[in-house]
Structure 1
Amino acid sequence: MTVPAKPSRAALRRSSRRSDDKIKPVRLAFLDLLGLGFLGLRTRKLRAALSALGISIGVATMVVVTGIPASSQRALTDEITALGSNMLRVQPFSGQPVPVELPEESVDMVRRIKPVTEASAVANTHAVVQRSDLIGDDDFSGTGLSVLAARRDLLSVVGGKVFSGRFFSAADEHFPTAVLGYRAAGRLGIGEIPENDPAPQIQINKSWFTVIGVLHGVPLSDDLDNAVLTGWPAAKKTLRFEGHPTVIYVKARDAHLEDVRSVLPATVFPEQPGQVQVSRPSDALAAKRATQNTFSSLFLGLAAVALLVGGIGVANTMVISVLERRRDIGLRRALGATRGQIRVQFLTESMGLSLLGALAGTLFGVLADIGYAAYQGWPAVIPLSSVTVGCLGAVLIGMAAGVYPSVRAARLPPTEALAST
């Protein structure tokens, strides 16, 4: 009995081409193609999970290695900002034969400068603290304390905090009330402000003022520690204050701080800008900028390598999947599936693997970033650019990893695929 010879590969390919010409292509809906693409993920769950793990590690690494430094950077820049790196101090030059008086509307003019974020002011009323109801006249040593009119938004600009009581509200600033710097409070014998008992009072220029608050020390403006602050409208009404600011505190965006500094003299006193003194930016600003530049590119190379390794794992899985499913591919081709449909099937599968890995990696990376930031006491910062780049990069890598396996699967002749063992 003669055993028929096994047909050669060339003969199988010629037979496949002839059969392709006879078979009418079957059109599949988009959802059907997606279902076929995800068929391999559903039937080989463990392998799909291990392949997606490589991508997820890459994306999680990208989120973590950019998110944790960003959180650390935010915490560091917040500490540097608290040192007054973005604050400028504007005041007339001292020692002038004729004192320069800044116009009252100068604070509002400063606020119109676009990069300026906050502005406030104090003014020397030249009033005198004459006595405190907690200290006898013989023991009173309140001389030397400056009485300053203060705007209601002063504390947010200079970074001040209330130790006891409260700062001026919209109602308080119109009445004879006072807030004391912490050294001034000590000299006046005033500690904490009682909640229920009558508040202490001090006499300024023969007028009694009720003390409503005591401040902590203000490192950015230590002259406020020895000051008695009154509301701006109350000072004008009670102390015959004319409303000319003595010191204007300005906060601006870091990138434009030098530009703001150059225009401040002409803004606050257009008639004689040369008579206005503006402090130079803090040396902490240079350290803050250096910190931002250092952290901006930290570990991005490591994340890219991890993402690339995950893509290689997906490519390897797809090649093995094609080899294992040669019979399935041949059967589908014999039933009328076109080469394009086979390519879309395996491309969809590789992209699905990468997308699932990207979503899982993003979730793990965000949770790790939030957890580590909370442990360190930092503000949690999730760079949206890193998350977006990681997900898009994973999908693109999945497409690239699926190109060769999908082309290889589409080129398999049905007869050769069915004849393979």
Structure 2
Amino acid sequence: MRLRRRPWLVDVEPSRLSVRDMAAEAAAGIAQRPGRSVLTTLGTVLGVGAFVAILGLTSTASGQISEQFNVLTATTVTVKTVDERGFGESRGEGPATGTEPVDSAFPPDSDARITRLNGVETAGTWRRVHFESDPVIAASPEVRPGSSTSLGGISPVFAASPGMLRAVEASVTRGTPYNGFHERRGERVAVLGATAAQHLGITRLDSRPAVFINQQAFTIVGIIGDTRQMPEMLAGVIIPRGTADRLYGPASVESSEEMLIRTRLGAAALIAGQAPTALRPEDPGLFTAVPPPDPRTLREKVNQDLTGLFLVLAAICLTIGTLGIANTTFVAVLERRAEIGLRRSLGARPRHIAAQFLAESTSLGLLGGMVGTCLAIATVVGVAVVQDWTAVLEPVAVLPAPLIGALTGLIAGLYPALRAARIEPQKALRQ
């Protein structure tokens, strides 16, 4: 701009601040106090790093969850009776009273009927045996109710078909599981869960120990140490279904029976549709088969839950980083008042001063974003290597991360930059 109305004034060129000069000034301001600059960027490093690491680890873990889901849950079908109040009502025989046992909806050869279906690996029925009062479960017939050596009220008694032990993938650490012979003859044998066996003090089976349920002896043929499903069986006593039917009656209202079916991968939906008819061709409406949920729905829900939770933590870190940069920039403005006054007196305009401090805070944010992104990528890859997973990093989460750091620095520097732009050169030089 040239001033022509006042001839006593010489021509004055307007003050300019090029992008190159602004970048050089920002770099000089950051390098002038390297220790403070490093500490200032830590908040942004943590915030951006947490943002990228959370998204990467969530995607990686989600992939592993989906894989485990396909292997275990996607091959499981559960069959239940339609009316849990009593099987008689579903058959048109009138509702059960709740105290009188009714015929089980599952036929005695349920395991064989289901395993004949193409795609079924194993299947078994189970229920909890109902007693009028807590049973006395002990390693000796002399034990009475309330004794510290009794499992009564602590451990349940399960009536399960031999296929059920295979369906839950029970690992037998001692002895062997009972089989179809025990089931058909109603033999008084039992399998103990590891927790129940430890409480009873039974660790060896070579002396053919027995467990007494209300003073009725059951020879222990095996001890299971772990299961893939239904871990509550580890704390209980498991007897053959046929034995429970003879001694305590078939399934009642209080102990409704269920079936667990293990299928080959991809066959669960088909088996869920065929199982009720295979069990009761004359009345398949007695049962409802529950197939596994859609793995895509599970994956999306896991992603939403984990991402939503941890992104809040990332936002908190970014907020802390923003406050840190804002505080440091504001302190720098106060310390450099004389420099600001000198620049203003030499022709720098308020917007040039504001741009200089905004460039410094944005550079700090960008630097923190880049470092945080690199650390987050290394963290995701490291966790994947240690866990033997496949690392999953979405470009949409990694590429914008440094820009998020720069935006954080820009926002943090707005107020200090405006304060610096309003400093009067006369007052600044007098201090």
Q: TM-score, normalised by structure 1?
A: 0.47
Structure number with the bigger relative contact order (C-alpha 8 A, sep ≥ 6) is 1
Q: TM-score, normalised by structure 2?
A: 0.46
